């Protein structure tokens, strides 16, 4: 059986130089003849390169061969994805909203999401792979049911809470499978983590541009045909099918296949455009830190989000820069020390979020901000260890991401919901709910109420109802932010009506609409 690497790489054509020696009758080499043969060989190579450039059909054949290879390596993943995209295209074009087709499409999409892990990590273990397919079916069925039905209450637990718990499980489950699959791809291809990221990023950009041009061309051709020859429609359906049948396999190849060396233009963009901008942004943060210490002040609320974005962009940029492997380049050497230079920024970030948590408790953004800071610290530790030991330890951040995702979303007591509930209840205990609260206290109470209502959903309101009377809840809900007079309120309403009484109507027409209540005064 061919290995995954063999299936994901097409035939290689090399134009390596060949040394040819001509020997005289006396057994001596003839330098002039050797030079002539070498020149002839070089001319032949150049002519071959020109012919290869002039044969676009060969390039198409190579692309089809690569596409066939990725289908052989991931048959269930891509087969399910193609069928799901085909059903989605049919639903879109025929306006057929039957639950059967929708459920089948969702089932196939869920199977594809699980199969990519099995086919990547257990390629040569057929029994484990087949067992994994079988075990994946119940998860795919449950996912299909959740996306097409409203879950009812069971055992006294509201359906919304059940749906929320299952949804959080699926987030952790999917993140774990995909991160583990990417980690295995990096190890299988024997790239350093930075090199893998750089080559994959470049490949994804190329693939997206090529597919975008191809999809746009198909859409233009179909539009012209529909306008001038026959209006067959189907542009949207065809684009949906192409996304699942061509773009998705090509993206998977970008992650799982052998990588080409990035071009000179890409390396210039990374080293001489993105990296200098990152350096300037970090310099501004350092100036801000100097300003804070000089004025004996505290960090602003916005600095946390700025540094969070800077880290996400920075880790991408210096990883791409280190992936170029231009070790003698000055910008490469600077990229090696950028993670160390970012450590004080993490300290400022932690200081900012700690101040807000101590004053106002945990919210959704603050909780995941803390999770991000923990991830940043672990990344820095892995980066330092990789430089000390010479081993590629930075790739372990993918496995760390699985653990942090499970802890933040799924594990009881430390997940985001439990942490926010404990923190905000403690904040709410500071106030006695009555009509006598001043404006500042009313704003604080209403802010906490909104966190329970919107960030925590059904479970949050259930907890408030158990701890506070209906009268107290009514008082909290009537409080408004008195500091603001003119506000815009956006209302997004989605209803899933199965049975509608139309006995008093002659006709009923389905319309798409949006309700917006503007200039809603406080």
Residues 78-95: pLDDT tens digits?
Answer: 999 999 999 988 888 886
Can you give the pLDDT at residue 132?
92
Structural domain boundaries enclosing 48 = 4-58
Can you give the pLDDT at residue 518?
45
- Are both 202 and 159 inside the same structural domain? yes
Report the predicted TM-score, pTM, of the whole model to 2 decimal places: 0.73
Can you give the pLDDT at residue 25?
44
In a domain, residue 485? The reply is: yes
- Are both 404 and 448 inside the same structural domain? no
Tokens linked to 428:
């709410």
Nearest to 261 by CA among 186, 198, 333, 187: 198
In a domain, residue 17? The reply is: yes
**Rounded-to-integer distance, Cα 230 and Cα 223, Å:** 10
Structural domain ending residue among the three candidates 417, 447, 467? 417
- Are both 374 and 410 inside the same structural domain? yes
- Are both 209 and 350 inside the same structural domain? no
Q: How many domains does the chain fold into?
A: 4
Cβ pair 149, 112 in contact under 8 A:
no
Encode burial over 1-30: b for 16+ CB neighbours within 10 A, e otherwise: eeebbebbebeeeeeeeeeeeeeeeeeeee
Please list the ranges in the chain whose pLDDT falls under 50: 1-2, 10-29, 31-52, 54, 482-486, 517-522
Radius of gyration of the chain from its Cα atoms, rounded to whole angstroms? 30
- Are both 9 and 146 inside the same structural domain? no
Distances (CA, A) of 313 to 56, 195, 201, 275, 348: 38, 17, 13, 10, 17
- Are both 469 and 381 inside the same structural domain? no
Can you give the pLDDT at residue 22?
45
- Are both 132 and 231 inside the same structural domain? yes
- Are both 48 and 175 inside the same structural domain? no
Nearest to 360 by CA among 297, 451, 435, 437: 451
Cβ pair 491, 515 in contact under 8 A:
yes
- Are both 400 and 479 inside the same structural domain? no
Can you give the pLDDT at residue 21?
46
207 phi/psi in degrees, rounded to 5: -60, -45
Can you give the pLDDT at residue 284?
93
Structural domain ending residue among the three candidates 217, 237, 256? 256
Structural domain ending residue among the three candidates 256, 291, 308? 256
Tokens linked to 81:
């994805």
């Amino acid at each position: 059986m061919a290995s995954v690497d063999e299936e994901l790489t097409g035939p290689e054509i090399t134009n390596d130089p060949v040394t040819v020696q001509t020997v005289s009758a006396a057994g001596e080499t003839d330098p002039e003849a050797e030079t002539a043969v070498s020149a002839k060989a070089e001319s032949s190579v150049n002519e071959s390169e020109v012919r290869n450039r002039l044969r676009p059909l060969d390039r198409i054949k190579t692309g089809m061969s690569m596409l066939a290879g990725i289908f052989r390596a991931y048959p269930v993943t891509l087969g399910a994805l193609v069928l799901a995209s085909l059903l989605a295209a049919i639903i879109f074009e025929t306006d057929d909203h039957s639950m059967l087709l929708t459920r089948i499409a969702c089932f196939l999409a869920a199977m594809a999401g699980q199969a990519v892990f099995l086919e990547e990590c257990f390629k040569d273990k057929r029994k484990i792979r087949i067992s994994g397919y079988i075990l994946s079916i119940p998860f795919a069925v449950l996912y299909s049911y959740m996306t097409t039905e409203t879950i009812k209450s069971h055992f006294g637990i509201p359906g919304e809470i059940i749906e929320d718990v299952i949804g959080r499980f699926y987030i952790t489950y999917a993140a774990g499978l995909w991160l583990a699959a990417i980690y295995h791809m990096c190890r299988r291809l024997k790239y350093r983590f930075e090199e893998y990221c750089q080559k994959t990023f470049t490949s994804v950009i190329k693939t997206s541009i090529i597919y975008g041009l191809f999809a746009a061309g198909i859409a233009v051709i179909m539009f012209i045909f529909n306008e001038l020859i026959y209006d067959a429609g189907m542009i949207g359906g065809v684009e949906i099918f192409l996304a699942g049948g061509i773009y998705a396999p090509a993206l998977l190849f970008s992650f799982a296949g052998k990588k080409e060396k990035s071009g000179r233009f890409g390396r210039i963009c990374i080293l001489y455009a993105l990296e200098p901008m990152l350096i300037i942004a970090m310099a501004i943060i350092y100036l801000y830190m100097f300003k804070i210490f000089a004025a004996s002040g505290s960090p602003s609320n916005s600095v946390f989000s700025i540094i969070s974005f800077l880290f996400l962009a920075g880790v991408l940029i210096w990883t791409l820069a280190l992936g170029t492997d231009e070790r003698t380049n000055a910008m490469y050497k600077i990229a090696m020390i950028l993670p160390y230079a970012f450590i004080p920024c993490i300290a400022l970030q932690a200081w900012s979020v700690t101040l807000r948590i101590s004053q106002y408790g945990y919210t959704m953004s603050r909780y995941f901000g803390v999770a991000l800071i923990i991830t940043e610290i672990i990344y820095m530790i892995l980066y330092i260890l990789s430089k000390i030991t010479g081993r590629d330890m930075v790739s372990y951040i993918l496995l760390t991401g699985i653990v942090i995702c499970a802890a933040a979303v799924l594990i009881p007591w430390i997940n985001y919901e439990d942490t926010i509930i404990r923190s905000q209840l403690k904040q709410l205990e500071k106030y006695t709910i009555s009509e006598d609260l001043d404006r500042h206290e009313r704003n604080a109470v209403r802010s906490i109420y909104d966190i329970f209502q919107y960030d925590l959903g059904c479970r949050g309101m259930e907890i408030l109802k158990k701890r506070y009377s209906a009268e107290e809840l009514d008082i909290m809900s009537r409080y408004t932010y008195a500091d603001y007079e003119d506000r815009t309120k956006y209302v997004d309403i989605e209803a899933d009506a199965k049975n509608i009484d139309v006995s008093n109507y002659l006709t009923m027409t389905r319309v798409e609409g949006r309700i917006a209540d503007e200039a809603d005064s406080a």
